Structure 1
Amino acid sequence: MVVEINQKKQARHLLIFEDKEGLRLVPLEASSHSLGRDPTNSIVLHSKAVSRQHALLLRVTSSDPNNYGFLLIDGDLQGQRSTNGIKVNGVKCRSRRLQDQDLLTFGNHIKARYIAVVPQSDAEFEEYCRTADYEALFTPPASQSTVVPEQPSALEEEGLDEAPLIRLASFPEISPSPMLEINLEGELTYLNPAAVSAFPELPLLGMQHPALNGLLNFIHTSDTNILVREITVADKMYEQSIHFISESDLIRCCVFDITERKLAEAELRKRDRLLQSVAQATTHLLENVGYDAIDTALAILGEAAGVDRICICKNHTLPDTGESGTSMRFEWVRSSIESVRHRPHRQEQSYHSPHLRRWYHALTDEVTIRSLVQDLPEIEQQVLAQDSILSILVVPIIVNHRFWGFIELHNCTREYHWSLQEESILFAMSASISAALQRQDKEEIIRHQAFHDALTDLPNRVLFNDRLNIALASAQRNNGSVAVMFMDLDRFKLINDTLGHSIGDELLKEVALRLQDCLRDGDTVARWGGDEFTVLLPKIESVNDAINTAYRILDALKAAFVIRRHELFVTTSIGIAIYPEDGQEAEILLQNADVALYRSKEQGRGTCQLYNPTMNAKEQFILENSLRHALDRDEFILHYQPKVNICTGEIVGLEALVRWEHPEMGLVSPATFIPIAEETGLIVELGEWVLRTACQQAVLWHKLGLAPLSVAINLSARQFYQPNLVEIVAQVIESTGLNPQQLELEITETIAVKNMEFAKSILCNLQALGVHIAMDDFGTGYSSLNYLKQLPFNTLKIDQSFIQDLKPASKDVEIINAVIALGKGLDLKVVAEGVDNEEQLELLRSLNCEIVQGYLFSRPLSVDSTTDILQANWLQRNQSQSLLRTLVSSPELSQSTSVQT
């Protein structure tokens, strides 16, 4: 058949296969096709040389709504490739957007020719398929040209990874319901294949199309982001579910064809007044969301229809066998009729059972069952007789074009022949229930997302707090006890940092499953955030119940977690608080459980601790709790104190000092919060933040054209003995772009001598990066010449305790003189800390100490103030005395109240 290209006609696609059974033609009508030798594939390849699931064909839309193509993918969507691969025109490939006349080879044995034609009508295409010369089409003349022009693909043909493959086969692409997306400028950004088919004029009409007309105004005048409206397109009516995504300024719509339902409702409204109650039931379902609305509607319908019983049965998978089955979910009965909802033969019934097999096939085909019971097959009569049913009418419920379940109307007191009109009424009722169920499903999804964690599907904080308050109210009424547990995973951050957040996320999901298995019905485990979980035991007889549950959790987490071939071992620390002993309000119980958690960590981790009032004073607890969140809330800042060369007057370096600006307590002294950070382990995370922030600021100063000064940062003992300290420093240097020569890390004598071999190894590795090392507070610890000689230091910092009482005749002068001589003998810089007056300065000058640091020159300054003095230092570097006077006399510097640490 000779076909001319016509952009207003839609191309049709087919494959001609050549295998051991000869040539066969397969039209490509569906959105996706699976190919392989397994009989479950939509296209079966008759050869043992191909894989069970060898390839996929996915429909791909293009910018022209009248055109679409197919993407050929090797293997399946889980990334499992075929054994022998695929070739297109002799070239092996992972994926390819097919073009007309492409020759496909599957596993070197099965060949197929891909053909795209543009018939004038469906009838012409069917005639073409029926009369086509397969052999000629399979081996076309070399001169035959492509009949469908190549369309640009939105996807790479090679290297296609799993994410876009899954998107192509995701719900929007294969959904039978039209889906579309626009931005706030009214520009169409997406149409799925169903929308292209249902609304071919939409790209041309744009905002004038009924599906888009008035949509922007509808969004702007509404106070919610999730909306529903009804529209009419041509002679069809649709329900349009609208989701306004404010974060990306996009509007997504899913359109459901409700023409049949609307016509049914219109027909019902035309009927006589006797059927007004049926319309009332339908309206009730449309106006109300929830299962209570369905119960009310069944009562209205039952009274109006004059039946004895109405019930709704829902399809589901049977838990024991995995077969498709049904159970009664809703029921209305007259007062004189017995309920059957909870009878065994009405729950968990398989469609393979003899009395339901015929029903399943009929209802799936949307055919009613309308009969006197005596006229039904004997096996069905026997089951229905258990419920005293004399006549029955059964109508399927179709939700989202799928057989969801069915409605049964029973007459138990007399035999009744159901009319076609009554059948149509029940069909309308079924359509209304279907709409109600769809809305209920949407509401349940939204409600579930609002109260559950997106990663683990556990209850979130909101739902946990709600259940906790309910449990406390119940315990107060009944003089009961409630247990609250606060727990987090020990060293979870190490897993995230070393293996990546995706591994960490999978681990959290597996942990959540094990936690749920440890609890009783009625208990709650929630994800509090990060690697933190909370557990609620609403009814306990004694404290031992809570302790036993905690130990079950500890034991459950001992077994290895295997995540993507990684064998991971994690432990958890648990804190427990009991109502009413440890608090009578939800917030107090959680706080006290958190205090107990930290005591558990102090005891060595992997344990549980009951709250005890002696664990922490209230103020200490409040401070610890605030400190825990201070980083997330950006409450920490850095101040910088200059180091000055007293010979030239120039600033030669800066020391970065962390400050905590608490929103309620104001500026918290480092002497107060640093020990808490050390004790709780938060100093590691805080120290890394200081390192990164100071390096970033130093780079900014360099970019401003200021002198390339060094910035000094103190390392705590916990930081220094991290196994990945060198890697962290290297990563910070690389990510910030700081010259490592401008970074100086300070450690104390105590840290250095704690483990000489380890310290020597770490310091050598740091120096290999180009980083300078300073011995801080020299003279206050061991002051051993042996380790000073062994360890690779660049700088000695004389502790301020020797400078404070420095007088011309004091012994401190001789000590400082000896330290300066020692530093120069070992080729080390010497820095004197705590220089606060001119007398100290002059004595240090006389001892040939070149670099000093103290309040005489400057207190620790904010970033802006430090920038100002650096600019002055740069402009006046040859006027050292003038610079010193500027530093000492600055009003801002003299008024600073920051604490030096």
Structure 2
Amino acid sequence: MDEGEGHRVIELKASSYFVGRDPTNAIVLESKDVSRQHAIFLRLTSTNPNDYSFLLIDGNLQGTASSNGTKVNAEPCLSTRLGHGDQIRFGCQAKANYFILDPLTDQEFQDYCEGRGYEDLLTEVHNARGTIIIDHPQQPNFEAASLVRLASFPEIIPSPMFEVNLRGELTYLNPAAMQDFPNLHSLGLDHPVMQGLMALIKQSSHNILSREVEIAGKVFEQSIHYISESSLVRCCLFDVTQRKHAESELLKRDHLLQSVAKSTAHLLTNVDYETAISKALATFGEVAGVDRICVVENHLQAESLLASLRFEWRRDAVSSVRGTSHRQQQPYNNSYLQRWLPILANGGIIRDSVRALPELERQQLVQDDILSLMVVPIIVSGSFWGFIELDSCVEEHRWSAQEESIVSTLATSISAALQRQYKDEIIQLQAFHDALTGLPNRILFTDRLNLSLAEARRSQHSLAVMFMDLDRFKTINDTLGHSAGDALLQEVANRVKHCLRESDTVARWGGDEFTLLLPNIDHVEDATRTAQRILEAFREVIPLEGHDIYVNTSIGIAFYPADGKEAETLLKNADVALYQAKERGRGIYQLYNRVMNSEASEQFVLRNGLRHALDRQELLLHYQPQVDLLSGRFIGIEALLRWQHPEKGLIPPATFIPLAEETGLIIEIGEWVLRTACQQAVEWQQEGLQPLSIAVNLSARQFYEPNLVEMIADILQETQLDPSSLELEITESTAIKNIDVTQGILAQIQAMGVRIAMDDFGTGYSSLNYLTQLPLDTLKIDRAFIQNLWSEAKELEIIHAVIALGRALDLTVIAEGIDNTEQLDLLRSLNCPIVQGYLTGRPSPANELRGVLQANWQQHCPSAEVELALQTFS
């Protein structure tokens, strides 16, 4: 190249050269008449990578021509393919000669140029042998705007491009194709980018096609253009390896997410969590491409945390590890799991190839043919429950972050299933088991009995049903308190369970009653031997809160099919046999027979009916007035419980109240009585009747309920009854059972403004000391003294003493059970202030008593007071 003041020799090897005055050009020309970007050299390649020449373009890539033009062989040039010996002039001064030489290395070219003058070089170049002469087609003549398209010319694009004729002969390769496919020229049609290419062109009706080819682990998208007018096929290839890998990862992720969704569906919809987890692992394992999935559960043993494999899914070709010793009851503190515990317990994840793990872990895991694994913790209710382990056994797998996240999601779903299972188990336990003893309750017992009956009918075997209860349990419960009674029931349940077979069932029926089911027995003796074992178990003392307690139990036995073929019949007959055992002395067992007295059967019917009486609205209240003897005026009303049985009519309290006490129904019934009586008192007051106090009895069992005071306060608040209008009655035996506790309860009730009455006074201890200690307002003389009252009876002096005692202690005295005028006259003579009985007012329903109350008030109260009250409550 001659620039006027000197010359340079430049070897053209790159794909493009920019020529101009600007110092950023590859070839910088110093002449002032040369533009900043004057021209471009573009490399053109043939099918032989060593054969190439250059295209000369005037101006820049934006289509702007040079200021002073470019000439080739003295002819103005916009663009031309250069040939050997061409003379080039840039502007007016800078000129160059273009030569095509045999390929030389950089060192050879340097040696060639050193020590030679420019003229000598020209001479040698002209005389050079082996110079590559390329036949040039008709020279293209580009317009200025066309130069823009040259920016994407095949020679400078990074994607491989080639042309081939229909005979499979390569006619052109660009530099990128030579670099990426160096053996394309030698392999020809055997190269992957050429294989099947001609057949594809012939079979297709389109000129533009595309396909994917894989070469040396890379994936290329091959765009194929068949140029029919020149019978050439032009191909351009784009490396889509990363995209295909990303698509593959996305597809795998989607499949994994779908499998997790299906697995979660199994875990959420399947009631049996073991089946759910097994299905979830199988669903996930098939998609995840792993060879084995294990779910390991933690458990404590002697205060050590152990891990045991609970669930396993594996491919058919992979061996099971569930039965191996190193997979069961493995301690975390001194096994290959020691390093895992702090990682997993803190929510961390372990994923690695086995060969990269510590020696102890590697030794254990190699036994299971594991090459790589991922371990994800399962956290249940904030605690480390166990872990899920994915094993690759055929080839080593590198776990991705996406896979780790998806497996964590699966672990969370398993955790949710386990939490649901725990809740279901608690609900199941609460619904079908007794909260105190943990035994099945009557619902579960009845269900098992029905199932056993169905099996007995199929197999033609017998079964036995037993009813048992504790003798005088109420005395122990009342004497030592409810906590001692509860502890006793728990010990009873434990002793009975140890007397039964594994297939037998013992349930707590209610209170101190238990039922037993002995399925699949062949002889009566099978049941009687069990009953005898139970009786003998209770001959040993029961230590209870510092006391040695001896408890007897009575048992009644009924057999299928002899004593009944339905569950209800068998239970009823076993209960009848139980009452017969009690009548014969207690502490024994009794077999049912048809001639047993009807009283026991009657008790069974009543007890079962009482359980539904409240729901069926068979219970009702009658009200009996309390009369001031001096004025004849009603000063109070006592609420008395009655049972209107649908078949047996009105049943007196003395018959069913003991049954309610035994079964514990008295708690629910007592609350209903108190609420109903308070509502009725308010209703009478709102109707304008005189404001009378309402008296309600509290049973012994109800009195010692922990929430008694709260329940009374709630009912007063709910009904809006003035506390001073309520009087609660407790019996003397109830009051003195635990004097300290009684004092506290009565003080809280009295503090609300409620009055306290001691009922049945004189039938218990009648201790003056108790009377002075308890906060009482009223003494009620028991009807037992009134029934035998006549002018010369000893009871006359007792009543007189009680009345005097009441005055001395400032207590109101009421005599109960006044049935005739002689009793009334004697009480009047003793100055008894208030009486209550059939003579002065029979117990009546509220609607019948309303008129009596109105008439009594109008008779004994001034008319102005009545009018004022009517105006007040209207």
TM-score normalised by length of structure 2: 0.50
Stretch of structure 1 that moved more, 425-434 or 639-648: 639-648
CA contact 1:775–1:793 (8 Å) conserved in 2: no
Corresponding residue of 2:560: 579
Q: 1:472 to 1:460 in 2, by over 3 A?
A: same
CA distance in 2, matches of 1:297, 1:878: 83
CA displacement at 1:784 relative to structure 2: 8.2
**In the alignment, which of 434, 438, 441 is matched to residue 416 of structure 2?**
438
CA contact 2:465–2:574 (8 Å) conserved in 1: yes
Map Cα deviations across residues 341-385 of structure 1 (whole Å, 9 max, x no partner).
Answer: 234443222223434334445545634253357x76665566556
Corresponding residue of 1:339: 320
Matches within 5 A, 1:574-653: 574-600=555-581, 602=583, 608-615=589-596, 617=598, 621-627=604-610, 630=613, 635-641=618-624
Map Cα deviations across residues 183-218 of structure 1 (whole Å, 9 max, x no partner).
Answer: xxxxxxxxxxxxxxxxxxxxxxxxxxxxxxxxxxxx
For the residue of structure 2 that corresponds to 1:785, the secondary structure is coil
Q: 1:760 to 1:495 in 2, by over 3 A?
A: closer
- The reply to whether residue 476 of structure 1 matches residue 457 of structure 2 is yes
CA contact 1:399–1:435 (8 Å) conserved in 2: no
Give the number of the structure whose alpha-carbon radius of gyration is greater.
2
For the residue of structure 2 that corresponds to 1:420, the secondary structure is coil
- The reply to whether residue 418 of structure 1 matches residue 397 of structure 2 is yes
Corresponding residue of 1:368: 350
For the residue of structure 2 that corresponds to 1:724, the secondary structure is helix
Matches within 5 A, 1:252-331: 271=249, 273=251, 278-289=256-267, 290-305=273-288, 307-318=290-301, 321-331=302-312
Q: 1:465 to 1:654 in 2, by over 3 A?
A: closer
Please, which runs of 5 or more residues in structure 1 have no aligned partner?
A: 1-266, 753-757, 804-815, 835-851, 884-901
For the residue of structure 2 that corresponds to 1:326, the secondary structure is strand
CA distance in 1, matches of 2:664, 2:362: 75
**In the alignment, which of 433, 447, 450 is matched to residue 466 of structure 1?**
447
- The reply to whether residue 771 of structure 1 matches residue 779 of structure 2 is yes
For the residue of structure 2 that corresponds to 1:292, the secondary structure is helix
CA distance in 2, matches of 1:306, 1:713: 75
Please, which runs of 5 or more residues in structure 2 have no aligned partner?
A: 1-244, 268-272, 701-728, 804-813, 867-874
CA contact 2:439–2:507 (8 Å) conserved in 1: yes
For the residue of structure 2 that corresponds to 1:271, the secondary structure is helix
For the residue of structure 2 that corresponds to 1:404, the secondary structure is strand
Corresponding residue of 1:128: none
CA displacement at 1:478 relative to structure 2: 2.4
Q: 1:776 to 1:407 in 2, by over 3 A?
A: closer
CA displacement at 1:330 relative to structure 2: 0.7
CA distance in 1, matches of 2:695, 2:521: 56
What code does the residue aligned with 1:393 have?
A: L
CA displacement at 1:793 relative to structure 2: 6.4
What code does the residue aligned with 2:423 have?
A: I
Q: 1:860 to 1:386 in 2, by over 3 A?
A: same
CA distance in 1, matches of 2:771, 2:517: 48
CA displacement at 1:712 relative to structure 2: 12
CA contact 2:295–2:389 (8 Å) conserved in 1: yes
Q: 1:702 to 1:496 in 2, by over 3 A?
A: farther
CA distance in 1, matches of 2:796, 2:513: 43
CA distance in 1, matches of 2:283, 2:663: 67
CA distance in 1, matches of 2:581, 2:341: 58
**In the alignment, which of 772, 786, 793 is matched to residue 785 of structure 1?**
793
Q: 1:591 to 1:744 in 2, by over 3 A?
A: closer
CA distance in 1, matches of 2:378, 2:694: 72
CA distance in 2, matches of 1:305, 1:511: 54
Q: 1:305 to 1:323 in 2, by over 3 A?
A: same
CA contact 1:396–1:403 (8 Å) conserved in 2: no
CA displacement at 1:862 relative to structure 2: 1.7
CA displacement at 1:326 relative to structure 2: 0.9
Matches within 5 A, 1:113-132: none
CA distance in 2, matches of 1:715, 1:445: 37
For the residue of structure 1 that corresponds to 2:605, the secondary structure is helix
Corresponding residue of 2:333: 352
Corresponding residue of 1:395: 375
CA displacement at 1:317 relative to structure 2: 1.3
CA displacement at 1:875 relative to structure 2: 1.9
Map Cα deviations across residues 418-463 of structure 1 (whole Å, 9 max, x no partner).
Answer: 2233x85365234313322223322431343244245555444444
Map Cα deviations across residues 625-681 of structure 1 (whole Å, 9 max, x no partner).
Answer: 22366478774433245588999876688776542123x3384243xx734656897
For the residue of structure 1 that corresponds to 2:323, the secondary structure is coil
Q: 1:739 to 1:503 in 2, by over 3 A?
A: same
CA distance in 1, matches of 2:341, 2:755: 74
Matches within 5 A, 1:495-514: none
CA distance in 2, matches of 1:461, 1:708: 44
CA distance in 1, matches of 2:515, 2:307: 37
Q: 1:619 to 1:362 in 2, by over 3 A?
A: closer
- The reply to whether residue 724 of structure 1 matches residue 734 of structure 2 is yes
CA distance in 1, matches of 2:293, 2:699: 75
**In the alignment, which of 843, 846, 856 is matched to residue 873 of structure 1?**
856
TM-score normalised by length of structure 1: 0.49
Q: 1:554 to 1:438 in 2, by over 3 A?
A: farther
For the residue of structure 1 that corresponds to 2:397, the secondary structure is coil
CA displacement at 1:329 relative to structure 2: 0.6
CA contact 2:378–2:415 (8 Å) conserved in 1: no
CA contact 1:776–1:796 (8 Å) conserved in 2: no
Q: 1:426 to 1:298 in 2, by over 3 A?
A: farther
For the residue of structure 2 that corresponds to 1:324, the secondary structure is strand
CA displacement at 1:278 relative to structure 2: 3.4
Q: 1:604 to 1:831 in 2, by over 3 A?
A: same
CA distance in 2, matches of 1:715, 1:440: 46
CA contact 2:628–2:833 (8 Å) conserved in 1: no
For the residue of structure 1 that corresponds to 2:448, the secondary structure is helix
What code does the residue aligned with 2:793 have?
A: L
Corresponding residue of 1:126: none
For the residue of structure 2 that corresponds to 1:357, the secondary structure is coil
For the residue of structure 1 that corresponds to 2:427, the secondary structure is helix
**In the alignment, which of 406, 410, 434 is matched to residue 428 of structure 1?**
406
For the residue of structure 2 that corresponds to 1:468, the secondary structure is helix
CA displacement at 1:282 relative to structure 2: 0.9
Corresponding residue of 2:158: none
What code does the residue aligned with 2:379 have?
A: V
CA distance in 2, matches of 1:634, 1:583: 31
CA distance in 2, matches of 1:340, 1:283: 27
CA contact 2:511–2:664 (8 Å) conserved in 1: no
Map Cα deviations across residues 116-171 of structure 1 (whole Å, 9 max, x no partner).
Answer: xxxxxxxxxxxxxxxxxxxxxxxxxxxxxxxxxxxxxxxxxxxxxxxxxxxxxxxx
For the residue of structure 2 that corresponds to 1:398, the secondary structure is strand
CA contact 2:732–2:760 (8 Å) conserved in 1: no
CA contact 1:777–1:799 (8 Å) conserved in 2: no
CA distance in 2, matches of 1:317, 1:276: 39
CA contact 2:697–2:730 (8 Å) conserved in 1: no
CA contact 1:372–1:390 (8 Å) conserved in 2: yes
What code does the residue aligned with 2:846 have?
A: V
CA displacement at 1:335 relative to structure 2: 3.9
CA distance in 2, matches of 1:325, 1:629: 51
What code does the residue aligned with 1:368 have?
A: I
For the residue of structure 2 that corresponds to 1:288, the secondary structure is helix
